[in-house]
Amino acid sequence: SAVISQKPSRDICQRGTSLTIQCQVDSQVTMMFWYRQQPGQSLTLIATANQGSEATYESGFVIDKFPISRPNLTFSTLTVSNMSPEDSSIYLCSVDSQGYNEQFFGPGTRLTVL
């Protein structure tokens, strides 16, 4: 299995600011995913990030609000831009298991927007 770390683990931010969340994997992976888990809700996929190409966003999510970088096969960032209280969520990254048809999740970043 892959070991995934995320930074920061939690943050409290002011409305209108931006936060960049980092996701680091201990092995090279092709596909990385970013999810949002709003309070008391399930996980919703934001986008899929592949190295060397632009991220693919799901319906309801746009690059201007959630820009993603994927500079190499072990690292990705998600930025939550121009934040509002509605962005308060847990943001999780996950990676594909390279042929085992399962995803491993990071510990998540708990974001609170005031």
Partner 1 sequence: AQSVTQLDSQVPVFEEAPVELRCNYSSSVSVYLFWYVQYPNQGLQLLLKYLSGSTLVKSINGFEAEFNKSQTSFHLRKPSVHISDTAEYFCAVTFTGGGNKLTFGTGTQLKVEL
Where along the sequence are the contacts to partner 1 (CB under 8 A)? Answer: 31, 33, 41-45, 48, 92, 94, 96, 101-108
CB 105 within 8 A of CB 79: no
- CB 25 to partner 1: min, Å: 14
Measured from the CB atom, is 35 or 77 closer to partner 1? 35
Query: CB under 8 Å to 13, separation ≥6 — which residues?
Result: 19, 83, 111, 112, 113, 114
Q: Are strands 19-25 and 10-13 parallel, antiparallel or unpaired?
A: unpaired
Nearer to partner 1 by Cβ, of 27 and 41: the residue is 41
Nearer to partner 1, 50 or 69 (CB): 50
Q: What's the closest the beta carbon of residue 47 comes to partner 1, in angstroms? A: 10
Residue 17 CB, shortest distance to partner 1, in Å, is 25
Q: How many CB atoms lie within 10 A of CB 102?
A: 11
